[in-house]
Amino acid sequence: MNQTSRSFLALAHQKHALRFGSFVTKAGRNSPYFFNSGLFDDGASFRALCGLYADTLLSSDVRCDMLFGPAYKGIPLVAGIAMQLAERGHNLPFAFNRKEAKDHGEGGTVIGAPLAGRVLIVDDVISAGTSVNESVALLRAAGAEPAAVLIALDRMERGSGEMSAVEEVRQRHKLPVLAVATLADLLGWLAEEPDLQSHLPAIEQYRRTYGCPTC
């Protein structure tokens, strides 16, 4: 766990975007923790979140020419991250899509810079990988090349098979997937927080039950 991951987890908990208790996931699993990026709902916390995304990208070896945010949660994220990167001396164009094609004005489904070059796809999490699959197809249809995927949290748990949703994306599209934090980071962070250590056993058991064996 690095300082970026630690800062992200602390911020997410402070904003109640990271919660502990009993939650049913889309897969029908009873999870002892839950993450909702939509709860970074004010300027200060959202700015900080986008800064942590930017730091994660800049500390990696991924290089890209522009950013793309799939609707809906990727839309504010891609704009905020582009601003944070510009403040760090990396001014990149960005674009996002709308769910339905616009039939008036400029038309189409993509808003922002023309899709070109190596494109970083930005989202909050990867669940079934649907938005990534759609984004990859959209980018390649426009003649651009996906460079990587950047998400906030990798839950490191199995999808429909033995691989996690993140691993499935890596294998299907041959793309790196960067995460600001992972489940392993979360376990390490909880071990450092005396007031939250009581949640460790349940999350460790959840990982033993649903964790991806190759993550």
Which residue type occupies 187?
A: L
Give yes or no: 173 in active site: no
Give the integer Cα–Cα distance in Å for 141 and 162.
31
Give the integer Cα–Cα distance in Å for 148 and 208.
28
Give yes or no: 99 in active site: no
Which one of the listed residues 26, 99, 104, 174 is annotated catalytic? 104
72 prior amide bond cis, ω within 30: yes
Q: Are strands 30-35 and 18-24 parallel, antiparallel or unpaired?
A: antiparallel
Which one of the listed residues 99, 102, 174, 199 is annotated catalytic? 102
What does the angle CA 151 – CA 172 – CA 2 come to, to the nearest 5 degrees? 30
Residues assigned a catalytic role = 102, 104
